[in-house]
Amino acid sequence: MSNLPQFDLIIIGAGIMGSSTAYHATKRGLKTLLLEQFDLLHYRGSSHGESRTIRATYPEAFYPPMIIESEKLWREAELDVGYNVYFKTEQLDFGPSDNTSLLVSVPEGWIAVVSDGGVLKATKAVAMFQTLAVKYGVVMKDKTEIADVVVDEEKGGVVVRSGLGEMFYGKKCVVTAGAWVSKLVKNVSKGVVNLPIQAIEMTIFYWRIKDGCEEDFAIGKGFPTFASFGEPYIYGTPALEFPDLIKAVVQRGRECDPDNRTWRPAEMVVEDLKEWLKLTFGDRVKWEDGPVMSQSCLYSMTPDKDYVIDFLGGGFGEDVVVAGGFSGHGFKMAPVVGRILVDLVVGGKVAALELDEEIKWFKIGRFEGNPRGNVKH
Ligand SMILES: Cc1cc2nc3c(=O)[nH]c(=O)nc-3n(C[C@H](O)[C@H](O)[C@H](O)COP(=O)(O)OP(=O)(O)OC[C@H]3O[C@@H](n4cnc5c(N)ncnc54)[C@H](O)[C@@H]3O)c2cc1C
């Protein structure tokens, strides 16, 4: 296998997680190959589009320290590349008072929390990490679907093989395959590792602001990113991505095979949103006309909605690390996840020891004999 292209690290999947990992790896001097099955910056996975929100309101104690670290790393990468992908604003969370994600009480029966929030420009952020990775020497190859990863019995490490028979040698490998991660891991582990990660087809919507009300919804004028923790859960962003449009989305979708999806919204989603916009913003948003723009995107859900970040194990030992199941809330964490993945695959543990504690929640083994995973209160 010594005639194959040789790398310290091969990353499979060039969404936000793979691209951030490539940035951290190359910055540390690892000879890195980033592989993608479709075009770079394609719109068929989870990381494309105009925006993702960043917020720190989580009921689980292990996410906020990761967000603090991630925020620092977003700013570091922005400085490195010379432009912004992270636009700060406040985050307004509101909903029924028994919701554990909301920690401060306001009028009886309801609570609302204002905290630090922001909007991340999604595709621009993926492009940023890829640009930086190129600056630090990554090799990127798109239109290369990986079919298999096998142990190199002669010298250790792995051989990664595409569906068309191309092969690459890596001392180490990271799998960041988004909604395809279960399929790929099942193949690679010869059916031994079955990740309970379900692809869900989601749709985001943009709505027109009524004439004369544009300033009320502008990010620069203090309009927050928002989340309504009722049933259904609805969240959105201020006017930033498109002039005079806000994003409002119902967190509800349809289970799918990522290679065979409808590209259409789930039932009743638009009607629920119209009702919610009417109640919340009254006549300041043209809800009655319906959304003016929509876009399909994939969630990768675990049963407990916590991430999967772990060694694949088996014959691969600590040479292959898998990261997936980001359950609709991974984007904001991409810088810290990328750094954790490089730490794990290079050193076997997370360098910032305080985060070593956090990632124990993301082990694959939590589902063994316990299909629901982490216990939630
Ligand atoms: C509508 C929507 C709204 C969201 N909102 C938020 C938000 O507000 N805040 C937040 O933090 N998160 C949010 N998320 C979640 C966040 O976007 C995801 O957690 C994140 O993008 C996951 O990135 P990924 O790199 O794991 O997956 P992907 O971006 O899907 O990347 C995986 C890549 O691997 C490639 N791949 C797969 N299999 C192979 C193979 N065999 N060979 C080669 N390449 C392969 C795929 O083509 C893909 O490009 C949202 C997600 C969606 C869909």
Cα 351 from Cα 340, distance rounded (Å) = 8
Residue pLDDT, tens place only, 288-338: 999 999 999 999 999 999 999 999 998 999 999 999 999 999 999 999 999
pLDDT in tens, 80-93: 999 999 999 988 88
Does the Cβ of 159 fall within 6 Å of ligand 1? Answer: no
Q: Could you read off the pLDDT of 247-266 as tens digits, one per residue? A: 999 999 999 999 999 999 99
Q: How far apart are CA 102 and CA 111, in angstroms?
A: 7
228 pLDDT above the threshold of 70: yes
Query: From ligand 1's centre to the CA of 328, what distance in Å?
Result: 9
pLDDT tens per residue, range 144-170: 999 999 999 999 999 999 999 999 999
Q: Nearest to residue 136, comparing CAs of 25, 6, 295?
A: 25
* pLDDT band per the 50, 70, 90 thresholds, residue 356: confident
205 lines ligand 1 (CB under 6 A): no
Ligand 1 pocket, 325 CB below 6 A?
A: no
15 lines ligand 1 (CB under 6 A): yes
Extended strands (E) in 97-237: 110-121, 139-141, 146-151, 158-162, 167-175, 198-208, 225-228, 234-237
- Rounded Cα gap, residues 254 and 97, in angstroms: 28
Cβ-contact 17, 334 below 8 angstroms: yes
Pairwise CA distance, residues 19 & 4, whole Å: 23
Amino acid at 139: V
Indicate which atom in ligand 1 lies nearest the CA of residue 53: 8
pLDDT of residue 286: 97
The residue among 131, 142, 187 whose CA lies nearest residue 320 is: 187
Compute the distance from residue 3 Cα to the ligand 1 centre, in Å.
Answer: 33
Q: If you take atom 19 of ligand 1, which residue's CA is the nearest one?
A: 330
230 vs 187, more confident:
187
Of 1-5, 41-45, 205-209, 250-254, the poorest mean pLDDT is in 1-5
Domains and CATH numbers, the chain: 1-71+121-194+304-377 (3.50.50.60)
Whose alpha carbon is nearest atom 4 of ligand 1?
328
User: Per residue in 228-245, is it b (16+ CB within 10 Å) or e — as a string?
Assistant: bbeeebbbbbbbbbeebb
DSSP letter at 218 equals: B
d(CA 52, ligand 1 centre) in Å: 11
Please state, rounded to an integer, the average pLDDT across all residues of the chain: 93
pLDDT at 99: 65
